[in-house]
Amino acid sequence: MKRWLAAAVLGLSLGGMAQAAIDTYQFANDAERERYHDLTKELRCPKCQNQDIADSNAPIATDLRREIFRMLGEGKSNQQIIDFMVDRYGDFVRYKPALTARTWLLWFGPGVLLVGGFAVLALIVRKRRTPVPGTSADLSPEERERLAKLLDKEQTHD
């Protein structure tokens, strides 16, 4: 009897814990849950500087999560949900900003810098490879003859 009571108390306390976790939403299916996680990871909390709304405890993030859950239930697409947020809070809320003329530098700037760096490196390497006159490893015909003679001498001495 005592053991049963203990088990019941333990079970109830666990129930309390599950409720204490933030936002326990009931999703229609796993795909929807997946999309919810993706969206809350991709959208940035407007109040906090560098947190996605999945991560933030700010009241506004809670509201936005609830709103995303509601829109998922209504069968809205990911793009519609993101547009909804951008309409209200601007591009700031997207961790993956849309590719526009204004965000071009943001998307391709690092790539351009990398390619530029390699270009400079290649230039420097090539410059070092071009032989400086007077230090060439190639011998002139006269030098070759002299070398051959010297080598011959050495051999005859042996």
Chain positions contacting other proteins, by CB under 8 A = 46-47, 49, 59-60, 63-64, 67, 86-92
Q: Which is nearer to other proteins, 8 or 123 (CB)?
A: 123
Instruction: Supply the minimum distance, in Å, between the C-beta of residue 67 and other proteins.
Output: 7
Instruction: Supply the minimum distance, in Å, between the C-beta of residue 153 and other proteins.
Output: 47
Q: Which is nearer to other proteins, 74 or 87 (CB)?
A: 87
Can you tell me the distance from the alpha carbon of 2 to that of 24, in angstroms, rounded to the nearest whole number?
32
Q: Which is nearer to other proteins, 15 or 117 (CB)?
A: 117
Is residue 36 within 8 Å of residue 25, measured between CB atoms? yes
Can you tell me the distance from the alpha carbon of 107 to that of 91, in angstroms, rounded to the nearest whole number?
14
Is residue 47 within 8 Å of residue 64, measured between CB atoms? no
